[in-house]
Amino acid sequence: MNFILIPFFLAANILVDRPNEWIFGPEYVFHANLTYLLSADVLDEPLLIINVTTTMRCRPEMIDRLYCRFEDVAIAEKHYPETSSMEYSFLIEFSPRGIENLRLPTVIEDEQLNIIRSIVKELSVGTDLRENVNSMPVFFARERYALGDCPTLFSVFEYDKDRNMVARGQRDDGGEEGKNYELEILSLPQRRSNSVVVIGKTMESKRCTKLQEPVDGKSELNVKISKSTSKMHVSDDTFRSQTEMHVKMVNLAERDFIVQDISSVELVGIEPAKEPLPFLNYEHVVNLRFREGMKHNLVI
C-alpha cells in the first residue's frame, strides 16, 4: 500500500499482511528532540538549557495536509524535569516547497507554539527540488526562516548506503528488525534504491529580507539569525532531519545573548491507525515565523 508520508516530498510503500488493520490508514511515528541553549556567547557556558523530547504522531489528512499530535512530552529546564500539557493536535499544510502553515483548534501560548514550529520545521525541505533538478547538486534558493526570507545554499548528494555508514562511523550488524515500509522521494524519482540522499541547507544570514521587528513587544528583544544549517538523511527505510540555528538577541539594556536552537526529528515507525480521523475544525492559522519566543526565560 502506498501512502503520502510528507506531502509533495516523501511517500511510503508499506508491506501489509492484514489489509483490514489499515482501514483507517497509517500513523507515522517520529521521535523529536529540541534543545535551547542561552548564553552570552557561543563559546560561553550556557546560562539556561531547555530540552524538549516527545513522540510526534502524524496521519495523512489530505493530499497536502498532515494531522499531528504530540505524545509523552517532557520538558527539562536545567535539572528540573517537567511534563508539558501539550495535548492538543494540529494540522500541517504543505506546498511543493515545504510547510506553508499550521492550523490549530484555538490560540495557544507563544512558547508552546514555538516548540511546535521548531519541531515540525524538520519536515520542510524549503524549496521545490523538481524546479532545481538541473542545478543540482548545489544551488541557491530562497527559503522562509523563522525570522525572515533568506537565500539558502542547498546541496543534494546521493551516496551508496554502506559507504555513507562507514563515513559516519556506523556499522550494520544486521541486528535491527526489518522495517515494514520503503520510502520514496517524490521530488527525486531518479534516486537509486539502497542509497542515502543527504539534503543540506546553509542560510546566508546577511542577505535576509522581511525580518520581523522586534520579536517581543514587551521586552523589546531585537533578534537576528547568525547561523542556520540543516541536514536531511533519507534512505529506503530511514528519515532523519536536524537543524542548528543561532539567534543573536539584544534587549533594552543592550545586553547581547545567543540562543542556540538545535532540533531533530526521526521516523521510528509506521503503524496502522486505530480510529478514524477526528472532525477537524482548525480555524487558527499560523506560519513558521516566531513571534515572542520564550520571553520569560530570555529577559535577563
Residue 107 lies in a domain: yes
Contact 227, 203 (CB under 8 A): yes
Q: What digits encode the pLDDT tens for the residues 36-50?
A: 888 887 677 888 888
Q: What digits encode the pLDDT tens for the residues 95-142?
A: 999 999 999 988 888 888 888 999 999 999 999 999 998 899 999 998
Residue 300 lies in a domain: no
Residue 292 lies in a domain: no
Residue 295 lies in a domain: no
Residue 19 lies in a domain: yes
User: In terms of residue numbers, what domain contains 265?
Assistant: 3-168+179-287
Residues of the chain short of pLDDT 50, as ranges, are 79-80, 166, 169, 171-176, 213-219, 292-300
Number of domains in the chain: 1
Residue 174 lies in a domain: no
pTM exceeds 0.75, yes or no: yes
Which domain CATH number covers 263?
A: 2.30.230.10
Residue 93 lies in a domain: yes
Cell of 282: 482548525
Residue 208 lies in a domain: yes
